[in-house]
Structure 1
Amino acid sequence: MVGMLAAMPPPAPRFAQPGDARFRARGDACPGALRLHRADDGALARVRVPGGVLTWEQADGLRELAGRLGDGELYLTSRGNVQLRGLGAECGSELASRMYEMGLLPSERHERVRNVVASPLSGLDGLGARDVRPWLTALDALVCASEAAAGLSGRFLFALDDGRGDVDALGADVTLRARGDGDAELRIGALESVVRIPAADAPRAALLAAMVFLETAGSSGAAGAASVAAEASGATEASGAGGASGAGAASGPAGSSPRRAPGAGAWRVADLPGGAVPLFDEVVRRLRAAGPPVALGTVPVPGGAPPALGAVAGPGDTDALSVGLPLGRADAVRWRALTDLARDDGAGELRLTPWRGVVVPGVRRDRAPGALDALEAVGLVTGDRSPWTGVAACVGRPGCAKSLADVQGDAAAALPVAPRADALPVHWSGCERRCGHPRGEWVDVVAGPDGGYRVSVVRDGGRTGEPEHVTGDPAALATAVATARAPRT
């Protein structure tokens, strides 16, 4: 096995035309920047942003596209990606071309599988064991260079944790976690078992694990199985990064889609009928066969926590400013405030977090207080005592046809003056799918067909008691949510 690979500049993608066989939807319906999803409020594009890292120019370009082609707002996801909503039905080709020009589409065939979260404060506050940005660059290049990796679903997730345990807690399919001794640990799904590997081999080991997942889940025919098996063994050359023969842009659910992981029909590790243990064992076997020294261990999955809001002391005389977006949404004014700060007073980049926040690195310490005041003035969350702290919701009505309520409006109406410092996070859902809900312990507020909501506490995927059903009284609903958010002793 080898260490990090440099990304090669890809050629401009060719976009398929209507009627092309590649337009057939097959299985995985996750939207992307090329394959748009038709929602009740127009088409939706999901732009993958590996590690959440955007240059200020890319961020400003997304703002411009949202204003010109969509509803004018940008929506952050629980994977640190960006969604544009309210798009016109015919904007697919223009959107895809702009994504390529902005450097957000390095591979057409892989654009929906570049799902990577990374510790947002890595390299900024001195708390992690290592800066995972080199891992991020290397892993993204490896994924885009792998033909077989295009077969991953849009739901498969990589996590790169710098050792603090924040994104290790998110339940990714493949997690790399830095160690203080310079090595790395690779975790599969939510297993406590980990395999210790040299840090230089970590990105390729993560790709190998994903390829073994595809092989375990099944493949479409002997040729597909051979391709996946070859890449899992590290035998495939880094070709195909440009994706010039890949699937094309589309403006609707008939867009291109990479091959589903067939056989068991598994989209993610948790879907495997045999669970994660056989996959982990096979990954360990492949790693040992590939040559680097490996060792097995047990590391409990951490509780994890998002970055603290406000100024985070960085290197030298700089701070990183960490802010939240109410319900993960930013209009043009809020987004421009962030991009202007990154351009004029920061390091020129924004880091989107899996907790629907934004970190702006490199702000001079003497300017940080004034910058935070300016961000708060436009409605961003700059401290843990904001009523919006810990509050999330799906898009609800009118954007989603499946939603039974305007959950975002109802969530705003039920805000406390300020939450308790130890309040549980709360997620409002318009239907039983609970799109974007958190992990761990949280308050589950779900709309019902009678116009009311069910309020309960969820811990490790199970309820801690019977839900409280509240209908027709906003004050009673706010009280029920506030009571549920108070941690049990």
Structure 2
Amino acid sequence: MSAAIRPSACPGLLRIVPALDGGICRIKLAGGAISAAQARAVADAAQHHAGGVIEATNRANLQIRGIGSEHQALIADLLAAGLGPTTAAGDDVRNLMLSPTAGIDRQMIVDTRPLAARILVTLQSHPRFHELSPKFAVQLDGGEALAMLQHPHDLWLSAFEDAGEPWLAFGLAGCPGDPPLASVALADGHALVVAVLELFLDLARPEQTRMRQLLAEHPAQELLARLSARLAGPVISVGDWQRAAPAEALHIGTYPQRENARVYIGAVAPLGRLDPSMLRGAAELAEQWGDGSLRFTPWQSLLLPNLRAEDAPGVTQHLQQLGFLWASDQALAHLIACTGSSGCGKALADTKGDALQLAALLQRHARYLDVHLSGCSRSCAAAHVAPATLLAVGPGRYDLYFRDAAQPGFGSLHARNLSLEAAGALLDARPRSNTDD
């Protein structure tokens, strides 16, 4: 991999980005999946070449933190484990998010993994696509019950059925829960992705790195007409179809798969962090009881798929012993927090430590609220707007926002400069219907 790595503030596997606690390496996982052997390689790299901190990200990838100046050995070990891109310049653009239960979900309309594999090959092998921003991202939704529908993407595709045939609705600069722009046949999904990316690169100026910026100058209907001219297959309206939101969050606990008598178990890494022993232990469970694979999720959790139903209680107990959160009635399982001031120079508070204190306060009152603690306005830990956000204004002090579709950013400002105790009291008093998803 001799191609030059372009400068960027976004970490990658080949580009280590500095932070207060050392370098950060981001390992992009195809569809969030990783083999047990690869998981052990990540654990070994974090232990031997860094500070031993592994993070699950909100786009179903992994990060290693605390890397020293001599990081070539870490990169070499991860490449040897098959965790790198097929081309060096393709590392930045491997931004394709699937459901964590792709291929095994009981509700899925299509198995998105074959199409996803084609898209990832094209993103990495097509030199022109290497011009895309490291933040430019695509989501492919197969209609699964477990799906993150609130993360905005530059292009999203979502499966639906019409007259018994699978189609892909799609939209630009939004989420699968938004009204779609149009649809194409499933067989034309790969061609659509290529056409959208090429059209974006044809029209965007250098400073326009995201689809929303292009849409500010080129109306969606204009882009749709240009796309239709580039595609051999039909591009049709979807009428009033819209992706239904999942009834519940299915990333924590035990749930049946499409195949009879098989289940997956979801467990949350507390505040998105694992240590090497946790990751090694999960890998061992996957080999012993599952199919030897793990799947990471946009909720900073992991799934062990393809388990026998009768083995699930024992596997859950082992995950608990490893330090994972395994039940939805654990307040900490509902909290997300950025790195905070211990690792980031822009953070105004120790969000990880504060989140632990807040979880204890909420657990005391049996309140299991989805809360995001952000050390600054960049919102690195959450790509979506959480029901409640605590935005740091100083050590141990936060402004409280509640999600409001009519308001930009974090939503409606509810109170300023709160202590953790005061924030906990306001969250505890909030009606559940307003803060629970």
Q: Is the 8 A contact 1:425 1:485 kept in 2?
A: no
1:120-178 CA distances to partner (integer Å, 9 max, x unpaired)?
11221321111111111111111112111101111111111111372343221111211
Secondary structure of the residue that 1:169 maps to in structure 2? coil
Between the aligned partners of 1:164 and 1:146, the Cα distance in structure 2 is: 29
Structure 1 segment 388-467 matched on structure 2, within 5 A:
388-415=332-359, 416-417=362-363, 424-449=369-394, 451-460=396-405, 462=408, 465-467=412-414
1:14 maps onto 2:2 in alignment: yes
Between the aligned partners of 2:135 and 2:378, the Cα distance in structure 1 is: 15
Query: Given the superposition, is the C-alpha separation of residues 23 and 385 from structure 1 closer, same or farther in structure 2, using an over 3 Å criterion?
Result: closer
Q: Is the 8 A contact 1:139 1:204 kept in 2?
A: no
- Please, which of 208, 214, 220 is the counterpart of residue 266 of structure 1? 208
Instruction: Tell me which amino acid in the other structure corresponds to 1:211.
Output: E
2:28 match: 48
- Please, which of 231, 237, 255 is the counterpart of residue 296 of structure 1? 237
Q: Is the 8 A contact 1:158 1:174 kept in 2?
A: yes
Between the aligned partners of 2:317 and 2:62, the Cα distance in structure 1 is: 25
How big is the shift at 1:45? 0.8
1:29-78 CA distances to partner (integer Å, 9 max, x unpaired)?
21111111110000111111131011111111111101111111210111
2:425 match: 479
1:115 maps onto 2:95 in alignment: yes
Between the aligned partners of 1:58 and 1:484, the Cα distance in structure 2 is: 43
Instruction: Tell me which amino acid in the other structure corresponds to 1:387.
Output: A
Q: Is the 8 A contact 1:393 1:411 kept in 2?
A: yes
1:247 match: none
Query: Given the superposition, is the C-alpha separation of residues 485 and 146 from structure 1 closer, same or farther in structure 2, using an over 3 Å criterion?
Result: farther
Q: Which moved more, 1:183-192 or 1:315-324?
A: 183-192
Between the aligned partners of 1:271 and 1:96, the Cα distance in structure 2 is: 34
The percentage of aligned residue pairs carrying the same residue is 25
How big is the shift at 1:302? 5.2
Secondary structure of the residue that 1:189 maps to in structure 2? strand
How big is the shift at 1:317? 2.4
Q: Is the 8 A contact 1:386 1:419 kept in 2?
A: no
> Which is bigger in relative contact order (C-alpha 8 A, separation at least 6)?
1
Between the aligned partners of 1:488 and 1:289, the Cα distance in structure 2 is: 44
**Count of matched residue positions in the alignment of Structure 1 and Structure 2:** 420
1:258-300 CA distances to partner (integer Å, 9 max, x unpaired)?
xxxx0xx12221233626743x643553344431122122544
1:94 maps onto 2:82 in alignment: no
Q: Is the 8 A contact 2:54 2:275 kept in 1?
A: yes
1:99-139 CA distances to partner (integer Å, 9 max, x unpaired)?
32221222211101101110111221321111111111111
Between the aligned partners of 1:23 and 1:366, the Cα distance in structure 2 is: 48
1:31 match: 11
How big is the shift at 1:424? 4.5
1:373 maps onto 2:354 in alignment: no
Structure 1 segment 157-176 matched on structure 2, within 5 A:
157-164=137-144, 166-176=147-157
Gaps of 5+ in 2: none
Between the aligned partners of 2:223 and 2:416, the Cα distance in structure 1 is: 46
Instruction: Tell me which amino acid in the other structure corresponds to 1:202.
Output: G
Between the aligned partners of 2:421 and 2:393, the Cα distance in structure 1 is: 18
Between the aligned partners of 1:284 and 1:335, the Cα distance in structure 2 is: 48
2:179 match: 192
Query: Given the superposition, is the C-alpha separation of residues 342 and 456 from structure 1 closer, same or farther in structure 2, using an over 3 Å criterion?
Result: same
Q: Is the 8 A contact 1:425 1:443 kept in 2?
A: yes
Query: Given the superposition, is the C-alpha separation of residues 284 and 75 from structure 1 closer, same or farther in structure 2, using an over 3 Å criterion?
Result: farther
Secondary structure of the residue that 2:100 maps to in structure 1? coil
Query: Given the superposition, is the C-alpha separation of residues 142 and 23 from structure 1 closer, same or farther in structure 2, using an over 3 Å criterion?
Result: closer
Query: Given the superposition, is the C-alpha separation of residues 446 and 284 from structure 1 closer, same or farther in structure 2, using an over 3 Å criterion?
Result: same
Between the aligned partners of 2:212 and 2:331, the Cα distance in structure 1 is: 34
How big is the shift at 1:360? 1.2
- Please, which of 188, 194, 206 is the counterpart of residue 201 of structure 1? 188
Query: Given the superposition, is the C-alpha separation of residues 284 and 103 from structure 1 closer, same or farther in structure 2, using an over 3 Å criterion?
Result: farther
Gaps of 5+ in 1: 1-12, 16-21, 219-261
1:145 maps onto 2:89 in alignment: no
Between the aligned partners of 2:364 and 2:96, the Cα distance in structure 1 is: 33
Q: Which moved more, 1:344-353 or 1:97-106?
A: 97-106
Between the aligned partners of 1:78 and 1:268, the Cα distance in structure 2 is: 19
Between the aligned partners of 1:132 and 1:23, the Cα distance in structure 2 is: 30
Query: Given the superposition, is the C-alpha separation of residues 418 and 82 from structure 1 closer, same or farther in structure 2, using an over 3 Å criterion?
Result: farther
1:254 match: none
Between the aligned partners of 1:99 and 1:424, the Cα distance in structure 2 is: 36
Structure 1 segment 231-270 matched on structure 2, within 5 A:
262=206, 265-270=207-212
How big is the shift at 1:216? 2.1
Report the TM-score when normalising by structure 2: 0.89
Between the aligned partners of 1:276 and 1:424, the Cα distance in structure 2 is: 40
1:350 maps onto 2:270 in alignment: no
Between the aligned partners of 1:125 and 1:395, the Cα distance in structure 2 is: 32
Q: Which moved more, 1:287-296 or 1:52-61?
A: 287-296
Secondary structure of the residue that 2:64 maps to in structure 1? strand
Instruction: Tell me which amino acid in the other structure corresponds to 1:123.
Output: G
Secondary structure of the residue that 2:10 maps to in structure 1? coil
How big is the shift at 1:378? 2.1
Instruction: Tell me which amino acid in the other structure corresponds to 2:81.
Output: M
- Please, which of 133, 155, 160 is the counterpart of residue 135 of structure 2? 155
1:215 match: 202
Report the TM-score when normalising by structure 1: 0.80
- Please, which of 256, 273, 282 is the counterpart of residue 338 of structure 1? 282
How big is the shift at 1:359? 1.1
1:229-253 CA distances to partner (integer Å, 9 max, x unpaired)?
xxxxxxxxxxxxxxxxxxxxxxxxx
Q: Is the 8 A contact 2:372 2:386 kept in 1?
A: no
Query: Given the superposition, is the C-alpha separation of residues 272 and 88 from structure 1 closer, same or farther in structure 2, using an over 3 Å criterion?
Result: same
